Structure 1
């Protein structure tokens, strides 16, 4: 493939990624949530019952940052922490109905306008 064409395709993907991120940031802000919180909720929708460490890994933040994010999401009633049946010491994160509604509403608006 032509090197110039490859560069154009890569730049197009980067431009699209930036625009998508910017748009999601605007939509999240309108709904009083940050993009990292939105990505966290979306990740838990796709992969229910992750631990804090697993969620941090998926969202690509460190555990201490994710701990603060989770605390705020629990306080906003978007998440709950529950014990893992197989490992009583582990805490799994679960979306509440409010959390599910928040992520669905934000992404629905995004997909309707794209």
Structure 2
């Protein structure tokens, strides 16, 4: 891969593509660990993410949940349907609009979130083996990269 990049792209662009590839690999590794943590509790990775979002945003509407998951409403609705059947999530009609529904975690869903979150954090704990200075530097660089990419996105 590196040889192909050297021939096709100038040095600066090679570096950008290398960073992009590294972020993709890190993202894939995180998702694989998330999937592993979820499967230990008989969940999918997306269901685990739904638990987290509902924990952070109680009484969220389906459309808002779909936006946070970057999924369509019908896909999100299918995930929620299965979680309602498993007694992890409740749908409630809003008082302002009887047609609208909000989603909340049940007690069972909240307990499962706590268990899966502990499993997930345990799987990620080896990251703490990085020296503290490297942890701080990585966080600083990531925040800079995010700031630059967000600015680029807004300008595009």
Please state if 1:100 is matched with 2:110.
yes
Structure 1 residue 86, shift from structure 2 partner: 2.2
Unpaired runs of at least 5, structure 2: 1-11, 125-156
Give me the whole-angstrom Cα distance separating, in 2, the residues matched to 1:92 and 1:35: 22
> Per-residue CA shift, 1:45-76, capped at 9, x if unaligned?
11111111211121122212222211110111
User: Separation in 2 of the partners of 1:88 and 1:52?
Assistant: 14
- The structure 2 residue matched to 1:10, chosen from 13, 17, 20, is 20
Which consecutive residues of structure 1, in runs of 5 or more, have no partner in the other structure? none
Whether 1:30 aligns to 2:37 is no
* Structure 2 CA distance for aligned equivalents of residues 10 and 67 of structure 1: 32
Q: Per-residue deviation at 1:99?
A: 0.9
| Correspondence for 1:83 | 93
Structure 2 length normalisation: TM-score? Answer: 0.65
* TM-score of the aligned structures, taking structure 1 as reference length: 0.87
- 1:110 is aligned to 120
Q: Secondary structure in 2 aligned to 1:68?
A: helix
* Structure 2 Cα separation of the partners of residues 76 and 23 of structure 1: 23
Over aligned residues, Cα RMSD in angstroms?
Answer: 1.8
Structure 2 Cα separation of the partners of residues 93 and 56 of structure 1: 12
3-state SS, counterpart of residue 87 of structure 1: coil
SS where residue 71 of structure 1 aligns? helix
